[in-house]
Amino acid sequence: METFQALLARKVAEALKAAGLPEAGGVTQATDARFGDYQSNAALILAKQLSENPRNIAQKILVVLDLSGLCEPPTIAGAGFINFTLRNEAIAAQTAKLLRDERLGVARAETQKRIVIDFGSPNVAKPMHVGHIRSTVLGDALARIASFLGHEVIRDNHIGDWGTQFGMVIYGWKNLLDRAALERDPIAELVRIYKETNEKATSDPKVREAVREELVKLQAGAPENFSIWKETVDLSMKEFERAYQMLDIHYDIQRGESFYSDRLPAVVERLLKSGIAEISEGAVCVFFRDIPELAEKPAIIRKSDGGFNYTTTDIATVDYRIQDLKADTVWLVVGAPQILHFKQIIAIARREGYTADFRHITFGSILGEDRKLMKTRSGENVPLRDLLDEAIQRARKIIEEKNPDLSESEKIDIAEKVGIGAVKYYDLSQYRMTDYIFSWDRMLSFQGNTAPYLQNAYVRIRSIFRKAGEEFTATRELNLTDAAEKNLALKLCQFAETVPTVVNDFRPNLLANYLYELANAFHTFYEACPVLKSEEPLRSSRLALCELTGRVLAKGLDLLGIKVPEKM
């Protein structure tokens, strides 16, 4: 089904053609309710090209524009805006259609893509911390949305499970490991032995040399070192799984850096052979002399000691994703500090002849109340596990206060949905590039653009249906007499206009903003329009609006990876 926006845009385009005018932009939602529901700026755009009075052009368009049944007669306003106000009957009819549409009006993308989404990427032997929230939550939301839009999505967790830090870990394991501590809290013990080894290595050259040897042995496949490595990976993966379970994150594949390790020599050989890489100061490098911003920034793909680094790994990763996974699109949801690195990787991919669409999707940082990178009091990264536990705990406390009569199992369920939802929504509702200040009070507030506010709107709807105690059957006729009803219905119709915009520039916050406006429109409707106490046919009509609002809220939040409780 076609959205109002698409329908009006098509009608305007037809009118332009009929009036002998060139194409000129689309139709947008009105910037202000005073100007109606939608607007076209075609006349203003054409005025420039044709050097003619925009209002005259608007008039010419209106003469051939037939919107009977859909809109009130369009008006020309201001400098030459054409304003459209939808007829209530048209909104009612569209809303009734949405009730019978599983996709809630959202069209599938015209061209289906095969998209590998690289997000999360925690490091083995290190705890997940706040720094992982944005990549994980953003990547997951984008995956859900792209998938809903009909793309074939492969979610890949590019785990940091290979690299020089394993020299430290293995040395520490052999010399400093406390088995009992490892049983109790594996990651904490791995971090401890890593840190202590690191300290010893900085002060003692002999340790430094021993660490290096352990790494070389690992890379050469020495059985003991390999099995230690394997065990640390397994322990870490278990830890990651716990976090992913709490966050409801699922991966299709988890190809760590180690997966690519045996492909690295061939990568370097190939690049040398094709002349893309060359030897410089004993290392194998790729220079980008023709790309001004990279001209002074060569990429090293084999160190002078013969070792490979993460650039080599990422080139191998590109190979795998394009050739084995057959991706035509790759989204890298990785922090901004790696911009230069990925520019190099993408430039190399281009030289190798890959035409896939690579997007490095960056994001800002999470700050503490002091406006500096969020840390614990002792200056450490805040462990993700602690943060999620605290979110649930705080949500639980609020629920206890507001609704103490709920059963224990309900409280557990609600606290989890509200707490985790609040953390995710707080992240996703803000523009991804800006740094944001982490605040429990704000994210768990029931007022404003927060998960609890949206969840509460859903809960109010469920409450109505519980009270009604009847099976919902969609009416075919909606009555939109009250302004609050029209406003709500129109918002519901606009879900389909909003969802696709998210992937244009990878901005889930556009969807979040929409859901907030929808919830707000619903609350206003809820205050103004009694549902169960109203007379038929109004009662059925209002129930239908509630039903649809509930479905859109649940689906919208689901696309952001957030669950809705039935009560709260």
Which residues ranging from 83 to 112 are in contact with RNA (CB under 7 A)? 83
Looking at beta carbons only, is 78 or 221 nearer to RNA?
A: 78
Stretch that binds RNA, among 137-145, 176-184, 230-238, 360-368 (CB under 7 A): 360-368
394 binds RNA (CB under 7 A): no
Q: In Å, what is the CA distance from 439 to each residue of 130, 370, 371, 389, 443?
A: 13, 11, 11, 15, 6
Q: Does 130 bind RNA (CB under 7 A)?
A: no
When asked if residue 378 is in the footprint of RNA (CB under 7 A), the reply is no
Binding status of residue 351 toward RNA by CB under 7 A:
no
Torsion of CA 253, 258, 264, 267, to 10 degrees: 10
* Between 329 and 509, CB nearer to RNA: 509
We find the least distance from the C-beta atom of residue 267 to RNA, in angstroms, to be 14
Among 178, 386, 505, 537, binds RNA (CB under 7 A): 505
Of 10-29, binders to RNA (CB under 7 A) are 25-26, 28-29
Q: Which is nearer to RNA, 182 or 515 (CB)?
A: 515
- Interface residue with RNA, options 507, 551, 555, 563 (CB under 7 A): 507
Using CA atoms in the order 129, 135, 137, 141, what is the torsion angle rounded to 10 degrees?
-170
Residue from 553, 560, 559, 523 nearest 423 by CA: 560
Q: Does 131 bind RNA (CB under 7 A)?
A: no
User: Is the separation of the CB atoms in 223 and 230 below 8 Å?
Assistant: no
Residues 6 or more apart whose Cβ sits within 8 Å of residue 306 = none
Burial (CB count within 10 angstroms: exposed 0-12, middle 13-18, buried 19+), residue 211: buried
What is residue 107's DSSP assignment?
P
212 binds RNA per the rule CB under 7 A = no
**Residues 6 or more apart from 12 whose CB is under 8 A from it?**
26, 27, 40, 42, 61, 65, 82
Q: Could you say which of 216, 464, 472, 474 contacts RNA (CB under 7 A)?
A: 464
CA pair distance 200, 218, nearest whole angstrom: 20
256 scored as a contact of RNA (CB under 7 A): no
Determine, following the binding rule CB under 7 A, whether residue 381 of this chain makes contact with RNA.
no
How far is it between the farthest Cα atoms of the chain? 87
How many Cβ atoms are within 10 Å of 275's Cβ, its own excluded?
8
Taking CB under 7 A as the criterion, the residue among 4, 15, 21, 39 binding RNA is: 39
Check binding of 481 to RNA (CB under 7 A).
Answer: no
Which of the ranges 111-119, 474-482, 501-509, 553-561 carries the binding residues for RNA, by CB under 7 A? Answer: 501-509
User: Is 229 among the residues that bind RNA (CB under 7 A)?
Assistant: no
Ranges within 329-348 binding RNA (CB under 7 A): 336-341
Nearer to RNA, 122 or 186 (CB): 122
The distance of closest approach from Cβ of residue 420 to RNA in the complex, given in angstroms and rounded to an integer, is 15
